[in-house]
Amino acid sequence: MARDQCFNEDSGDRPDVKNIAIVITDGVPYPENRRQPAIDVAKTLHTKETTVIAIGITNVVDMEFLKLISSAPQLPNKQYFSAPSFTDLSSILQNVTTGSCEETTPPSNAL
């Protein structure tokens, strides 16, 4: 949906503004055969210069899956995160905000 409906000019996407997708998931694709298609779509977003930040909620998150769908350099607590529950999201909020803001802040010489 993000690739086909959100990040296109017909839906208001601006080509001069970097796109960021924050994916919130339980981190365990089900059924298992949906794992690789999700990774493939994320890679397509990466090639369209969309930054993907992945957040897994539960204590059984497949961290390798989160890493694979997140954007490079795929560092934990920078491009992918986990929290044991939705009520624990506040514990990672600052890191998610910092990571996504770093992606959109222009270089100082661009101002």
The pLDDT score that the predictor gives to residue 99 is 64
pLDDT at 104 over 60: no
pTM of this structure = 0.81
Spatial distance between the Cα atoms of 52 and 62, rounded to a whole number of angstroms: 16
Residues 6+ apart with CB under 8 A from 11: 5
The pLDDT, as a whole number, for residue 2 is 73
Whether the Cβ atoms of residue 21 and residue 52 lie closer than 8 Å to each other? yes
Mean pLDDT of 48-77: 92
